[in-house]
Chains A and B, each alone.
Chain A
């Protein structure tokens, strides 16, 4: 097993020697995940790009940890040489946090950053362009934050077409159904 994950472990070793990581582990084959401080983002990304040849910036996404009051931003890099996905995670404050702009390293990061700024309300230092990206005339809190309640917003803003008169609400019937009521072919897929 260790032989298979040789490249992955070596990558983690190199990163551990160079930086003080908050945590780092090999998730599975071709996937390494590290957690770092906000200040380390630019050094780690530059190191990965210039020295380790993680030249491809696959994706950048954001997760809202509302219970901890944090937003987690994930940078996903890919090395065509080593065939490894490197996930670099960092957490910022939900209310007043901000992150460095990295579009001078990869220009395509600009698009992801604008999307995250609009969808999560997380500002990036020195990000050019204040105009709306996807949403127009948006006056609510950013829609991907978990305290934005989509159901309420939709029922206030849009119209709902009334259903057919003969439509029945079967939700309670389905919830109260026991395993005996299930037809034979469905038992195969039962969770128990």
Chain B
């Protein structure tokens, strides 16, 4: 659905406006990209200008950042974290590792394509992306939210079996609870 004020109800418009200006980011980092988050959040780049700030627990968070390569061991934790987050929830994937594996494309222990396991709303490329790129990615996500297109969480619910099959291919010993929405 393209961004068009007339085609959205006024409630949706206000809802999305409110959502996009208070993005609570879960304080969780994998790989090397988490080191770009402190400069993004602190005074030099000051992401709070855009309403972006940290959240302590998955239940309070809106945005999950996957900051770099994802080992199969941390994939398990990421899936569990993602499933505990409340709807609506968004995923931003950092760096080339989440897109196609990056420099770890032939590693036995890191996944290559993140969007096969959890739905991704915005990709930020680079190895690693600078804070400017990170903020640009966030602004892009805000635009998607306002336009009502950031619907990864709906995609996850609709195609849960497909995602689960991919996840269980890697996580053989599945001990996590099955959340049902």
Tell me the A residues contacting B by CB distance below 8 Å: 134-137, 139, 143, 148, 150-151, 153-154, 157-161
A-B residue pairs in contact (CB < 8 Å), sample of 16: A136-B73, A137-B173, A139-B172, A143-B108, A148-B108, A153-B108, A154-B105, A154-B106, A154-B108, A157-B170, A158-B112, A159-B112, A160-B101, A160-B105, A161-B100, A161-B101
With A137-B173, A161-B99, A161-B100 as contacts: A154 and B107 at CB distance below 8 Å: yes
Q: Is B127 interfacial (CB 8 A cutoff)?
A: no
What 1/0 mask marks residues of chain B from 160 to 181 whose CB sits below 8 Å from any chain A CB? 0000001001111100000000
Residue of B nearest to A143 (CB): B108
When the two chains form their complex, are residues B169 and A157 in contact, meaning their CB atoms are under 8 A apart? yes
> Inside 8 A of B73's CB, which chain A residues have their CB?
134-136
A-B contact count (CB 8 A): 47
Contact B72–A136 (Cβ < 8 Å): yes
Bound-state Cα–Cα, A116 to B34, Å: 29
Q: How far is the CB of B108 from chain A (nearest CB, A)?
A: 5
Task: Select which of A134, A137, A151, A159 is within 8 A of B116 by beta carbon.
Answer: A159
A158 to B76, CA, bound (A): 15
A136-B72, A136-B76 known; A160+B112 contact, CB < 8 A: yes
Q: Is B113 an interface residue (CB 8 A)?
A: yes
Considering the complex, which residues of chain B in the window 57-75 have a beta carbon less than 8 Å from any beta carbon of chain A?
72-73
Within 8 Å by CB of A161, from B108, B113, B169, lies B113
Q: How far is the CA of A139 from the CA of B170 in the complex (A)?
A: 11
Which residue of A143, A151, A159, A160 is within 8 Å of B109 (Cβ)? A143
Question: Residues of B within 8 Å of A, CB-based: how many?
Answer: 21
In the assembly, what is the distance between CA of A154 and CA of B169, in Å? 12
Whether A158 and B173, one on each chain, are in contact in the complex, defined by CB atoms closer than 8 angstroms, is no
A contact residues around B124 at 8 Å (CB):
none
- The docked-state distance in angstroms from the alpha carbon of A143 to that of B113 is 21
Given known contacts A159-B113, A161-B99, A150 and B173 CB-to-CB distance under 8 angstroms: no
Complex-state Cα separation, A109 to B73, whole angstroms: 23
What residues of chain B lie closer than 8 Å to A159, measured between beta carbons?
112-113, 116, 166
